[in-house]
Chain A
């Protein structure tokens, strides 16, 4: 077939399929990824047979994943990546190797040979970065704790894929011998990573500046693409993951002034290539293998999803992730992934597993990827409402520079009260909330709330934190609240922080960071209830008020006193006991004095001298 005509023909099929299937799928409420996968199945070898070589397309479209990781890297400054090192290597390794071992164990028990079981375990333990991060981006969950956890695990899988691919061929019985190039290969790999980091730090920004000065937009776009392609090629030449290299390059540019431009330039390429990638996955589902042993395939899919989900759910509970984020976290990482394809192909090529086993495993992975968006839809319908999950509504992030002297981060139950009080006093405040649903609700009531994650420096800056006098941190998530406080203290030192503390631990965290204006969210409400009980038990309303206020002062003083001893539990318990004792003694003494005064004759008769004060405590 003529080369040009072939290209035209292929474009016609792919674009046509995507343009038809994706809007249809979205209309049905299934999301775009299912649309792409369905389009792939329809045009693939098992559908209309319009395309017969899905593997070639898969390789080409993998570049979409590379671009995506570059864009993810752009969102992640080196400092934040460094902060993620523990989730990456800790939770990431736990997920990958925990799942792999469990799946391999189940495989061996089910009667598979151990090389097959191990290959299946390693391959199935991988998760689809493309779908995972794609869904996170589509739902604006990237900055949530579950989003960061998914990213961490995906990054570790990217890193671990390299040694795994090196080890898999060695699993052939008796064929285990190192090829002597290991050290050289490792040295090369390190050299390339070092080159990317150094080059990224020293050369990229001047180069981009020089290109930008030419004022030719398409050349800047070309340069952006070239940058990603070159990094990917460099990594591939030494056998490293292309996506990992692109991610590194992205991180290195995360603090540059060209970040936004790079993002907007590459976004459409990423979207289209990812779409192609999903189409290719749909095409590569080998229905012959599935139909030959439908029961076995179903068992493999259900089995590995269940094992991985169990591991992930245990992880989500221990981390712990917020309840409503756990289903998404579990589903996104439980599915198989594109690295699985590569692992199985490599194993088959090396003769570790048979062709039939390989196509069966590939089909299982592809089916799990197909099932993932469906599972998510089901979760949204039936589980999420119960968990009061964030709505899937999409809103644009805050983008216009704001000027209000007050920024309120988090506009839930707490932030709203703060905001209403300020508003009633004619003060304008810029409101940032991470929940799209929340933003839509308060907007309906006429509040100019913005959608955005306050733990992101750029959004805080856009919200006007740079010139705000006060930043109210009313976020309910403790870690995010502390992250915002850190950002504000580091970058917007002119602003005074007024913070909501969820609990005592959070309170101490805020004190440690030097926040002066902290309110424990339950303290005052609980004191008012206590005051009411005192009144109901016969205390005079004003006396009850005084006791509540005195208790409040005492409690806060005690907490301040205990703050430096955090971590020393014995000391804390001792101080807390001592504090409670002091208050009890003080009040017992006062009650005693009061009784004595009451016992004095004539104190309350009209003949008392001079009308002096000091009768407040009597009666």
Chain B
């Protein structure tokens, strides 16, 4: 019954510099409060135990999504996890209240350097442009999304910078929810779904 659940998705963790280090740091930050779930280790066959996952995040206050950004989004197993675990009737829709009031914190890494995420860089958009799917997913299930923790250029960043980044990560996990910026953060926007927006039960 961990207060913080970290969902890690990295298809090749053995080649990872940053995410593997972040995972270690997270596990050490506050062992009693943190449950690290390495999806690719838990579900190598892409056969997710949705009930077990729901049971793991139901009691948490903070859900962290830690993954490298691949093709401007999450790795496939993470997306499958989202599909299976954030289920209709559990996370959203009628009776879907299980995640309401929790915090969601993406901890993302990108291969491209920060300079590439500009209109004149090869990624052509500021990185913020890729975040709305995360924000809206959180909003629809009633979670408050916290400002993401980003590390750009993960392939080339110096070892010292990786360490410093991992420090920040661990420190934030340990001090949650006493983060100074949380006071000014607006709550979760309401997403009122009109009654006729979704298919209704047939009589």
Contact = CB atoms under 8 A, between A and B. Distances in A.
A175 interface: no
B197 interface: yes
B88 A614 contact: yes
Given A549-B45, A549-B47, A616-B83, A601 B202 contact: yes
B199 A603 contact: yes
A614 B87 contact: yes
A600 B83 contact: no
B122 to A, nearest CB: 28
B175 interface: no
Interface residues of B, number: 20
A568 interface: no
Given A613-B83, A613-B86, A600 B199 contact: yes
A549 B49 CA distance: 11
Given A546-B47, A549-B47, A609 B83 contact: no
A601 B202 CA distance: 7
Contact of B200 (A601, A610, A612): A601
Main secondary structure of the interface of A (DSSP, over half): loop
A21 to B, nearest CB: 64
Interface string A547-586: 0010001000000000000000000000000000000000
B46 to A, nearest CB: 9
Nearest to B96: A614
B197 A609 contact: yes
Contact of A600 (B45, B197, B202): B202
B92 interface: yes
Nearest to B83: A613
A602 interface: yes
Interface string A580-601: 0000000000000000110111
Main secondary structure of the interface of B (DSSP, over half): loop
A446 B45 CA distance: 32
A616 B84 CA distance: 9
A546 B198 CA distance: 26
A375 B183 CA distance: 94
Interface in B145-203: 193, 197-202
A609 B202 contact: no
B140 interface: yes
A613 B49 CA distance: 17
A603 B201 CA distance: 11
Contacts of B83: 613-614, 616
Nearest to A550: B47
Given A612-B92, A614-B88, A600 B47 contact: no
Contacts of A600: 199-202
Interface string B128-149: 0000000010001000000000
A603 B200 CA distance: 9
B20 to A, nearest CB: 21
A600 B84 CA distance: 21
Interface string A418-457: 0000000000000000000000000000000000000000
A546 B83 CA distance: 14
A581 B193 CA distance: 38
Interface in B80-135: 82-84, 86-88, 92-93
Interface of A: 546, 549, 553, 596-597, 599-603, 608-610, 612-614, 616
Interface of B: 45, 47, 49, 82-84, 86-88, 92-93, 136, 140, 193, 197-202
**Top 10 A-B pairs, shortest CB-CB distance:** A600-B199, A614-B88, A613-B83, A599-B202, A603-B199, A549-B47, A609-B197, A602-B199, A601-B199, A614-B87
Given A597-B199, A608-B199, A614-B93, 18 more contacts: A553-B47, A596-B201, A596-B202, A600-B200, A600-B202, A601-B199, A601-B202, A603-B199, A609-B197, A609-B198, A610-B136, A612-B92, A612-B140, A613-B82, A613-B83, A613-B86, A613-B88, A616-B84
